[in-house]
């Protein structure tokens, strides 16, 4: 199993939207590195959902329910989407400030490649963010 983090501006598509919808096509990504990551996502992989654009907070867990397929928002078949399924909300959101202040997360892609909207994270990073959500 692999672990990922996806970013979205809540005004475009929020964690609450995903909870309400249950699942969604994660489409419209137009970055080459992010596209490589979308292609690497496998059914059952776990995904942290992060709000960018002001809030800067991890709010929930999703899973990949459908592996990459042509992005429905473009006719260019070079771009792909995956289907995300909501799993559960975090007990408390974990802010970017908290992540930056945790030494064990100093190498997380969210900090190192901050503009990337789809990124892999290590299991240890995923687990640490979940611990932080529980109040640790």
Predicted local confidence at residue 43, as pLDDT: 98
Percent of residues, the chain, with pLDDT higher than 70: 99
Predicted local confidence at residue 98, as pLDDT: 97
Domain residues for 100?
Answer: 3-133
Report pLDDT digits (tens) over 50-63.
999 888 999 999 99
Q: Given a cut of 70, is residue 131 above it in pLDDT?
A: yes
Number of domains in the chain: 1
DSSP assigned state of 86:
E
SS3 helix, strand, coil % of the chain, rounded to 5?
A: 30, 35, 35
Q: Given a cut of 60, is residue 30 above it in pLDDT?
A: yes
Predicted local confidence at residue 136, as pLDDT: 56
- Residue 118 sits in a domain of what CATH number? 3.10.590.10
Report pLDDT digits (tens) over 62-98.
999 999 999 999 999 999 999 999 999 999 999 999 9
- In angstroms, rounded to a whole number, what is the distance separating the alpha carbons of residues 50 and 63? 14
Range list of H helices, 41-102: 96-101
Task: Tell me phi and psi for residue 120, to 5 degrees.
Answer: -80, 150
Number of Cβ within a 10 Å radius of residue 124: 12
Range list of H helices, the chain: 15-21, 32-40, 96-101, 109-112, 123-133
Report pLDDT digits (tens) over 103-112.
999 999 999 9
């Amino acid at each position: 199993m692999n672990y990922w983090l996806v970013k979205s501006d809540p005004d475009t598509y929020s964690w609450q939207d995903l909870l309400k919808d249950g699942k969604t096509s994660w489409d419209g990504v137009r970055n080459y590195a992010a596209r490589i990551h979308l292609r690497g996502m496998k059914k059952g992989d776990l995904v942290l959902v992060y709000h960018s654009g002001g809030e800067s907070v991890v709010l929930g867990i999703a899973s990949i329910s459908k592996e990459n397929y042509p992005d429905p928002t473009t006719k260019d078949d070079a771009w792909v989407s995956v289907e995300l399924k909501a799993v559960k909300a975090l007990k408390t959101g974990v802010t970017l400030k908290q992540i930056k202040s945790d030494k064990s997360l100093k190498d997380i892609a969210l900090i190192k490649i901050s503009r990337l909207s789809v990124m892999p994270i290590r299991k240890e990073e995923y687990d640490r963010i979940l611990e932080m959500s529980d109040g640790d």
